[in-house]
Each structure stands twice: as C-alpha cells, then as structure tokens.
Structure 1
C-alpha cells in the first residue's frame, strides 16, 4: 500500500512539502534570520523588507523567525495528539465493529455519551481537573476526539468483517488478534489516514487558539488598599488596585519609584509589618493570601510562589558560600534528600548556563558578578517549580549587557514553562520584551492597563503617555546618533 501511495506524484509532492516544513522547524536556530523573542518597538508593524521578509509584529519581532520557531512545538503537539487519539479510537473501533454484541453495545453507548457533551466544555473540565501543561492538553484532545475515531473506524470494520478473506482466516484457525492486525487494520488504513490528516489540522487550530482556552487565572487581586498607620501618621500607599495573572502569561507592573509597585507584592506575600493596614483580596489557587496565617504563607513562599528581588549583590548573605545559600532553600521546603543537594544545585546552575557550576558553589557572593548572582537567584526560584513567579525590578542594578541576558532568561522561562509571571519595573523597554499585559501605577493608583502594544499606541492616562514619550525620545535620539556615525 505504501509503495502504491509513493507512486502518486501528488502524494510524493505533499509529503515532500510537509517534510520541508518539518526540517525548517528542526533547524530553526540555524535558518531563522532573527531572534524570535527580540523586541524593537521602533520598528513595530514594519512592512516586508530585505531584513524582515514578512515584516514585524506589534512588538517589532520578526514574523518569519517566529513562524519558523513555531513549527516545532506545533508539529510535536499535533503529531503526538494525533497518534494518541488514533490509537485509542482505532482500538475501540476495531473491538466494537469486529466482536459486536455486548462489546459493541458498551463501547457505542460510551461513544454516544461522549459525543453528547460540547467539546469546549470537556476541554475546560479536563484542564481544570488536571492542570495546564502540554501533557494535559494532549489528554484533553484525546478525550474529546477518540469517540469520533471509534465510530468512523467501527463503520469501516463492519464493512470488511464479513468479507470472504476474513471468513477464510477464521476458518483456518487464525487468532482474533492476528485477523485484526493482519487483515482488518490494513484494510481500513486509508480511511484512518484521511481522518488523521484532518485531525492534525484541527489540533493545530486548537493549539493556535489554546492560549485563551487553557490559560487560567492563578492570582486574582481585587480592591487592594494599603495604608501606613502610626499614632500621628496615616498615609495611603495603595488605593483600590485590581489585577489578575494567568498561567503561562506575564503581567507587567510599570511605574516610577514610590508608585506602590513593590508594596503591592509585599502585601500579597505577607511581608509588610503591622504598621501597614491591608484590605481587599488576593486569591491564589482558590485561597485568599491576605487571610492566611504566617505559617501557611511561609510554605507558599519560595515553593508555589517564587520571588526574584532587585539588586542581587545585596540579596545574598556575604558570610556564606553560594552553595550553602542554595541548600538553605532546599532545607526550607524539604523537596530533596540531603545527599542530593549538591547534585541538584549543580543542575540548577547548569540550567542557568553558568560555567563551572561546581566551582561557583564554593564561591562567596562578592566573587561573582551581578549577572551571575541574578541567574543563581532565578535558578533557585525555578527549582521549586513555582506556579507564580514575582520579579521585583530584577534588571535594575545590573549593566545593560547583563540586563539583556537576564531578559533572555525570563523569555526562555516563559516559553518553556507554564508559570504565571508578575514583572515589576520602571523601565518601558524592559517590560516591552516580556509582558503580555501591563498595568501602570502612579502615586498608588492604577491609571492604565492593557496589552503592551495597546498601551504603546493609545495610552489612556497622561502619566502613561509621558512615560512612553520620554522612552521613545531617548530611542529616537540614539538612532539619530547612530545614523550620524558616532557619539557627540
């Protein structure tokens, strides 16, 4: 059958086309002309050119490079889902169509029940029950599609089960499993191929829209107020701030020093002392963090909720080696046996692309650069597999080159994990590289919110407009200096 298919020029042409697309995905790092995550707001929505063959998107990212890099996860998820779905559907369809009787009756009633449920509701139910990751997305697809395969394959099996070549095999004493695998399965292979080709396209469409389907809110802050109270002093720090963070997405909090950015996260994590009066709700995975006791919050901090602070040079105790300070986190949460501490710590540093990780464990903080210390802090936070990662000005106290490397690290984390991210900064350019949505704080009040591209094009508040204009003015001056061939 395969030989006959390969004789068709159309089939060969289609297979060759799919093969070329797959190879582009495999070799994406070598053939993509640009970094798919590199933002440049000065060239957003640029038309096609020699440098950007398909133009750029709303954040100035090269569209062709993003398409090429998007091939790998799309094909992987689509093919894996197709194989799992067609395997389960084929088994059920073969058993139902060949054995008939009570087997057929039970399987078909299950299929009827599954088909009676709307597919989108089934997806929400599965994701809510199992959680959001690639494996569970595949399971959700299989659950809502196998019944369709089973019914179609059963129909084709019934068409062949009474043919003479099947009866002859039974007459000569062939086992049922042999008949199913040797005769029936090849006979319905062409129909299975058609179903599979349709299902790959459906899965790709599902994945392209999947962000809105499977992303769920992991942190929901409503009407947050913070007041500093002392006998003769009362000052409103934060007033009626509400926002939410979704799994796999990044919410940026933008504002100048003193706007209430860091106070917001400290209130959520219970890090403010009794001089501060806090009201509102901060719901994390169904629990209000503002109503939890210190002991319960302590178990969440560093595990389910990771935090990365600004100025890494001051975040590590100068009296202890890096290894000891990593082990301290392991001790606090008890997730690794003590004899595995060193191995796990080395794995953390290797993931952060730190050279000579074993040697780094023996060094004191002052012996490492700010960028390396920040990578260590990110590695510690991610080693606990947090569902929420709070990044409080993580690029503030490091140089521009190191800033770029740290931003790349956060982009990698965002691309490879499903962690929700709350990213605090006063730098418009930094937030443009990482945030899906932005809220702007000014003097303790939320003055603007929306996708970064919308904030950039149409800021609703005068303060936000001023931030954007100042940043663009600096960028325009920089480009003009470059165009003149030097710095004055």
Structure 2
C-alpha cells in the first residue's frame, strides 16, 4: 500500500521560466523509507518542499500529490497547514533556519503541539522534556529556555527529531539532515532517525548525497539529476546492478566517503 503518490510533478520558476523538476512521478510505501539521492541542484530538496507545499510565491508547482488518496495540490493553504506537522513532518537540513530566532525553543515547541493536540500545559512540558531526553539532549529545561543561536547545529537537528517523536507523523521527510554536522553528530542523528522508524513505524523520505547513510537507512531509492529521476528501485538492486551512467558516477565518486562512514558506524 502506498501512503504517498506523486504524479507528474513539475516545478517552475515563474520569474525565469526555468523548469526545476520535470514531470517527476514516484510513490512511498507505507512504513518504508525512500531515499532521494543526487548532487546539489539535482532537485532533491525542491521535491521535498513540493510535497510540503513550502515554495516561495514565485515557484509554481503542478501535477498531483496524493497523501492517503487526498490530493495535496488541491488543498487550501489553511487545510495544508493542518497536514504539516501531524501528518507530514519535515526535518530541515539547516536547523538554524527551521526555528524562529526571536523565540526560545520551548515556546516554539509548545505552540506547535497546542496546534495539534489538546494536552494540558503541564502535559506538553513533560512530553517535551521526555522527547528531548530520548534524543540524548541533557538538561531539557535548560535547552527549552535557549534561543536557536545558543544551540549547536547537531542539537537543533535533534530537537527537530524530538518534535517528530512528539507529533508521530504518518510521513517524515528528512532533507539532508546531516549535511551541516560533524561526523559524531551525523552518527547520532542517523541513529535517532533509525530509532524513529523502529518506534513509530512511520514512512520516511530521506534525502542525502551520502550513499553510506542511504544504504543504512533506506529500502528504496530515487536517483535525481537536473530535476529528473534517472534511476529508481530497491536500494540493494540499484547500487549493485547500476544501469544509469550518472548513478555509476555517484557510486564511484562517493565510495571513499561511504567507506569512511561505515567505519564510523562500526560496519567494517
């Protein structure tokens, strides 16, 4: 059963007339992890923002995006806001840009949870504390009283993961969540994402250029180049029976990085 189906997604910059995504179609199976890989500018993040409908006003998208059979492209912005968070949750690649810099973390998390749940103020605070502790953030009350700029990138990523644990979304989109992190933080964030999948059995779209991470977490993979899907399929088959020249290039150029990451993860 597919929980998400994307049909003929096209994304265009209205200012320049440039097509960013060319008639992209794919699906996400319920409970599965779909990886989207490719170099910078291949269309990975744009695809994710299209699903969440988070584009700037001059970016136009067309096609169909079905979530549990409902076409997200036909929803009003008000209706779409209700889907974001509880049904579709996105972990951004830059934790600093995901939070309001003028507001402490605890207030921001509280506002999001009030929007989706009828929990008491005390219950919300307790749940936030437990979620932050579960992603290895010590002194959760202290963290809740910090502004985003007072926390490291790794801590902000873990806070976004903690929020996903609280919201228990049907689909979680992780858009290059380890890009701006050091190796140790990368390891911790990937482990937390794997933990979320095991705990909640949620469906996930995982975007990355790091094939070592992708092989560890994903079931299926899309390979994107210049806004087009050039290869797709089961993760093991795609990387063991490469058919497209671009995929072969990615595998060969990322081999050293992937091997290093496997070593960090204790898999060699």
Segments of 5+ residues of structure 2 without an aligned counterpart are 263-268
Going from structure 1 to structure 2, the CA distance change for 1:239 and 1:375 (only over 3 Å counts) comes to: same
Check if 1:329 corresponds to 2:112. Answer: yes
Which digits, 9 at most, give the CA deviation of each residue in 1:295-349, with x for residues without a partner?
Answer: 1100000111111001213322332222112112123324322343211211221
Pick one of 249, 252, 255 that aligns with 1:472.
255
Q: Please state how far the C-alpha of 1:369 moved relative to its aligned partner.
A: 2.3
> After the TM superposition, which residues 110-129 of structure 1 pair with which residues of structure 2 at under 5 Å, given as runs?
none
For residues 474 and 327 of structure 1, what CA distance do their matches in structure 2 show? 39
Query: For the residues of structure 1 that align with 2:172 and 2:257, how far apart are their CA atoms?
Result: 31
2:12 is the counterpart of 1:218: no
Deviations 1:119-167 (A, max 9, x none): xxxxxxxxxxxxxxxxxxxxxxxxxxxxxxxxxxxxxxxxxxxxxxxxx
Contact 1:246 1:420 in 2 (8 A): yes
Paired residues for 1:340-359 under 5 Å: 340-359=123-142
SS of 2:18's equivalent?
Answer: strand
Query: Would you tell me which structure has more strand in proportion to its own residues?
Result: 2
**For 1:420 and 1:475, how far apart are their aligned partners in 2?**
24
Select the structure of larger CA radius of gyration.
Answer: 1
RMSD: 1.9
Q: Within the alignment, does 1:229 sit opposite 2:14 as a pair? A: yes
Q: 1:400 maps to what in 2?
A: 183
The 3-state SS of whatever aligns with 2:146 is coil
CA distance in 2, matches of 1:244, 1:451: 13
Report the equivalent of 2:214.
431
Paired with 1:354 and 1:477, the residues of 2 have a C-alpha distance of 26
Measured in 2, the distance between the counterparts of 1:476 and 1:305 equals 32
CA distance in 2: counterparts of 1:330 and 1:478, whole angstroms: 35
Alignment partners' CA distance in 2, 1:278 and 1:391: 21
1:44-73 Cα shifts (integer Å, max 9, x gaps): xxxxxxxxxxxxxxxxxxxxxxxxxxxxxx
1:477 is displaced (CA, Å) by: 9.1
1:293 aligns with one of 76, 87, 94: 76
Structure 1: runs of 5 or more not aligned: 1-215, 480-488
Q: Is the 8 A contact 2:34 2:222 kept in 1?
A: yes
CA deviation vs aligned residue, 1:207-262 (integer Å, no higher than 9, x gap): xxxxxxxxx211011111112223xx311111121111122210000011111111
CA contact (8 A) 1:411 1:434 kept: yes
Distance 1:353 1:223, change over 3 A: same
| Gap change, CA 1:277 and 1:476, over 3 Å in 2 | closer
Residue pair 2:221, 2:233 contacting (<8 A) in 1 also: yes
Query: Across the two proteins, how many residue pairs are aligned to each other?
Result: 262
Paired residues of 2:33 and 2:205 also in contact (CA < 8 A): yes
Q: Do the aligned residues in 2 keep the contact of 1:330 with 1:341 (CA within 8 Å)?
A: yes
Name 2:245's counterpart in structure 1: 462
CA 1:363 to 1:431, structure 2 compared with 1: closer, same or farther past 3 Å? same
Q: TM-score, normalization: structure 2?
A: 0.91
* More off after superposition, 412-421 vs 271-280: 271-280
Contact 2:175 2:206 in 1 (8 A): yes
**SS across alignment from 1:303:** coil
Match of 2:236 in 1: 453
- Once the two structures are superposed, residues 399-446 of structure 1 have per-residue CA deviations (whole angstroms, 9 ceiling, x without a partner) of 011101111111111122221001111221221111100001100000
Task: Spell out the pairing of 1:63-462 with structure 2 (5 A cutoff).
Answer: 216-230=1-15, 233-462=16-245
Structure with bigger RCO (C-alpha 8 Å, 6+ apart): 2
The corresponding residue for 1:104 is none
TM-score by length of 1: 0.51
Equivalent-residue separation in structure 1 for 2:207 and 2:250 (angstroms):
15
Deviation at 1:365, TM superposition (A): 2.2
Distance 1:418 1:290 in 2: 26
Q: In the alignment, is the contact (CA less than 8 A) between 1:306 and 1:382 conserved in 2?
A: no
Q: Distance in 2 between the 1:478 and 1:433 partners?
A: 10
The 2-side partners of 1:437 and 1:393 are apart by: 16
